[in-house]
Amino acid sequence: MKTSPDCLYCQRNELQKSLMIEICPLKVSTLFLFKEQSYRGRCVVAYNGHVNELFELPVEERNAFMDDVCKVAETIQKVFSPEKINYGAYSDKLPHLHFHIVPKYVDGYTFGSTFEMNPQKVYLTDEEYAAIIELLVNAL
């Protein structure tokens, strides 16, 4: 599988660890909990190989990746009951296929508008992150 020496997701470097916590492998991707939790339960699903665009994947891989994205979104819905789930796959400055799975709550932060990539407002304790991860893993 192709990787890139400069890629945050391929290298699992310290910058990536400062932004998210690896939860578990999925079919063709890896699930991460985003550390900034203005959107309770926000996760990232990152494809395991280094590609930038969804269309670069063979059909079977693309379908498996989207299955991973859907499985995580369904799990977040089951665990946290948000009103809506937003999906972000921008990669403008970080060329690696990944989706932000962002639960949105009525009367919650930016409900009714586009989610903020990194508002830097809500960080949790290690115990609180572990509790969220446990809820997600048990529901996957």
In order of their start, the domains of the chain are: 8-139 (3.30.428.10)
End-to-end Cα distance, the chain: 25
DSSP code of 54? G
Question: What does the pLDDT read at residue 93?
Answer: 83
Pairing of strands 84-88, 98-104: antiparallel
Number of residues in the chain = 140
pLDDT tens series, the chain, 140 aa: 778 888 889 988 898 999 999 999 999 999 999 999 999 999 999 999 999 999 999 999 999 999 999 999 999 999 999 999 999 998 888 899 999 999 999 999 999 999 998 999 999 999 999 999 999 999 99
Q: What pTM was computed for the model?
A: 0.95
Distance CA 21, CA 98 (A): 15
Question: What does the pLDDT read at residue 26?
Answer: 98
> What dihedral do alpha carbons 17, 18, 23, 29 form, nearest 10°?
-60
